[in-house]
Structure 1
Amino acid sequence: MADLTDAQVNRTLGDNLRRLRVAGRLSLDALAERSGVSKGMLAQIEKGSTNPSIGTLCKIANAFGVTLQTLLAEPEAHVEKISVADARNLWSGDGDGAARLLFGLDLMNLIELWKWSIPKGLTHRSDAHPVGAMEIALTLRGILTLTIAGREETVRADQAVMFKADSPHSYANRHSAMCEFVLLVVEPRTRP
């Protein structure tokens, strides 16, 4: 970080502070109370418009239980790559039925990316997710039949569907030898 200007350091610090605060579901008031740093100072730090003292930074770091390095570190490019064959299979159906969890993110929302394979004649039933949950399915091969709150939707290869997933729903293959689809699940965080 020696080559960075004060403005760049302050911007990085502000971004990291905001990220930690949001991830911890803290308001500026709550963080001020927890850290002993005024709400106004915290707001200025988040905007990158002030150069706080080391003492102030230590109070903030202690409030989050992180090091000063965590507060000051520049974000790294975060890339993860996985082969579908290497992904953990969390559901197996008759024949070659499979649901592989490819990635999961635990942010303000919980986000999961799945690769599903459902042989002809097989149905998978899913319980309702928390209120506000959404799913997006992109059919790669075959024809997916979705039943959502009693309503049936047919999703062919190269078609996508987005729906509220806070009621029971099911995925079925009634039409082809194999149906493959990618499923994105987004759930609002229901725990602290």
Structure 2
Amino acid sequence: MTRVRDEFIIKSVGENIRQIRISKSLSQEEVAYEADIPVNQIGRIERGEINPTISTLYVISKALSTSLASLVTVVEQP
């Protein structure tokens, strides 16, 4: 059960990042540049393939000009 929950949270955070990035008309490359992280890492985070550290989420939130909370808000599974 824990693994399923963790995967759901990781995917939800990635989806939040992608939605916010697209709503601000930013490319993955632009966010990666501003956050000073590799562009492929942004893609992997958005797809829920990796579990980003809190410091990585923080720099992404700054690159997106949004709060860290907006990235990690997760709607509970049905």
Whether TM-score is above 0.5 comes out as yes
Aligned residue for 1:66, secondary structure, equals coil
Alpha-carbon distance between aligned partners in 2 of 1:11 and 1:47, rounded to the nearest angstrom = 7
| 1:61 maps to 2:64 | no
What aligned pairs does 1:115-154 form with structure 2 within 5 A after superposition?
none
Q: Which runs of 5+ in 1 are unaligned?
A: 77-192
| Equivalent in the alignment of 1:10 | 10
Q: Deviations over 1:76-97 (max 9, x none)?
A: 9xxxxxxxxxxxxxxxxxxxxx
Tell me the TM-score normalized by structure 2: 0.83
Alpha-carbon distance between aligned partners in 1 of 2:43 and 2:23, rounded to the nearest angstrom = 16
Q: Which runs of 5+ in 2 are unaligned?
A: none
Question: Normalized per residue, which structure has more helix?
Answer: 2
Tell me the TM-score normalized by structure 1: 0.36
| Equivalent in the alignment of 2:36 | 36
Overall identity of the aligned pairs, in %: 29
RMSD (CA atoms): 1.7
Alpha-carbon distance between aligned partners in 1 of 2:69 and 2:53, rounded to the nearest angstrom = 14
What aligned pairs does 1:21-170 form with structure 2 within 5 A after superposition?
21-75=21-75
Where does structure 1 differ by over 4 angstroms across 4 or more consecutive aligned residues?
A: none
Q: Deviations over 1:113-140 (max 9, x none)?
A: xxxxxxxxxxxxxxxxxxxxxxxxxxxx
TM-fit CA distance, 1:49: 0.7
TM-fit CA distance, 1:37: 1.8
Specify whether residues 18 and 44 from structure 1 end up closer, same or farther in structure 2 by C-alpha distance, changes over 3 A only: same
Report the number of matched residues.
73
Q: Rg: which structure is higher?
A: 1
AA matched with 2:29: D
Structure with larger RCO (C-alpha < 8 A, sep 6+): 2
AA matched with 2:33: E
Alpha-carbon distance between aligned partners in 2 of 1:26 and 1:37, rounded to the nearest angstrom = 15
Question: Normalized per residue, which structure has more strand?
Answer: 1
Aligned residue for 1:48, secondary structure, equals coil
